[in-house]
Structure 1
């Protein structure tokens, strides 16, 4: 039996929401539905690799910097017509992501720089307490 907590919530067709544990395995599982969900929504005209990278970086950030043991994070994908929105919500509203320029030989710290490079827009929404949602959007060309 799989002990990893992963639950799909019922949601409208233009929205996918998944709860995942704040572990390296949770990050790997976060990437799995992206390509299939985009294809099912007819969004495959935008390279899904960018969306997969954004999901991986946002999920990694929440599991390494904002992790609270026993508290899951939520990944949401939203089809907004002209844009794909990727949201990662955690329970560390007191710790906002900050862009840091990593040392040239650093093995970590590049994630938010990658998000900035790939996303057309990005930001953070606070609340309800104690949550925060870090999001990134990719513009979608007309079908």
Structure 2
């Protein structure tokens, strides 16, 4: 009998660094956490969906290299939380939270608002992993103006 190499509380998927790949990351995350028992539409599920959408959008817009994709990983935590990781090949392009309304990077403001904690770590030889933890102890409602399906809007057409 075949057994999965991934434990039951972990999910990992390599995706193309395109708008479609970012959208698929969001859809797969919602399906996976629903399978793990998080009610669809709950605060935790909506927070996770928005965070995955923003991190995947950043991987596509800022972490893309030709011919390279990005990886989405989800891990259920013993605390009933969720660890979200998005890995891309651009380790030299670190995420920055904007200080003013004129700067780019407002997706990270959303991540910062919804996640209990988040950060970035090097992924040698040249990549980075941006991670965020969704914790039931620190949930804020998803802003009504945030639509995770609109998270990726690259300037150039990148449909492949």
Query: Counterparts of 2:127 and 2:29 in 1: how far apart (Å)?
Result: 23
Query: Counterparts of 1:110 and 1:43 in 2: how far apart (Å)?
Result: 27
Q: Report the counterpart of residue 31 of structure 1 in structure 2.
A: 26
Q: Report the counterpart of residue 89 of structure 1 in structure 2.
A: 87
Q: Does 1:20 align with 2:19?
A: no
From 43, 55, 58, give the equivalent of 2:55: 58
Query: Counterparts of 2:99 and 2:59 in 1: how far apart (Å)?
Result: 18
- 1:33-48 matched pairs, under 5 angstroms: 33-44=28-39, 47-48=44-45
- 1:2-17 matched pairs, under 5 angstroms: 10-17=5-12
SS at match of 2:118: strand
**Higher strand share goes to which structure?**
1
Listed as ranges, the gaps of 5+ residues in structure 1 are 1-8
Q: Report the counterpart of residue 73 of structure 1 in structure 2.
A: 70
Q: TM-score, normalised by structure 1?
A: 0.83
Following superposition, the deviation at residue 99 of structure 1 comes to: 1.1
Following superposition, the deviation at residue 47 of structure 1 comes to: 2.8
- The answer to which structure, 1 or 2, has the higher relative contact order (CA under 8 A, 6+ apart) is 2
CA contact (8 A) 2:96 2:105 kept: no
Count of aligned residue pairs for this structure pair: 131
Q: TM-score, normalised by structure 2?
A: 0.74
CA contact (8 A) 1:101 1:109 kept: no
Listed as ranges, the gaps of 5+ residues in structure 2 are 138-160
CA contact (8 A) 1:102 1:110 kept: no
Following superposition, the deviation at residue 41 of structure 1 comes to: 1.5
